[in-house]
Amino acid sequence: MKPYLVKTPKFVHRLFPKRVWAFPNSKNSVYLTFDDGPIPIVTPWVIEVLKQYKAKATFFCIGDNVTKHANVFQQIIEEGHSIGNHTYHHLNGWSTKTKDYINNCEKCEDSLNRVQDYKSTSNPLFRPPFGKLTLKQSKTLQEKGFHIIMWDVLSADFDPKISNKKCLENVLKNIQPGSIVVFHDSLKSYDKLRYVLPKVLDFLKINNINCESITL
Catalytic-residue membership of 90: no
Identity at 143, one-letter amino acid code: E
Residue 211 contacts by C-beta under 8 Å, 6 or more apart in sequence? 29, 30, 31, 32, 50, 53, 55, 56, 57, 201, 204
Distance CA 149, CA 46 (A): 20
Catalytic-residue membership of 110: no
Residue 40 contacts by C-beta under 8 Å, 6 or more apart in sequence? 69, 72
* Cβ atoms of 126 and 149 closer than 8 Å: yes
Distance CA 92, CA 129 (A): 6
Catalytic residue selected from 69, 81, 147, 184: 184
* Cβ atoms of 88 and 107 closer than 8 Å: yes
Residue 55 contacts by C-beta under 8 Å, 6 or more apart in sequence? 32, 201, 204, 211
Give the DSSP per-residue string, 65-95: HHHHTHHHHHHHHHTT-EEEE--SS---GGG
Catalytic residue selected from 35, 36, 159, 185: 35
Residues annotated as part of the active site: 35, 184
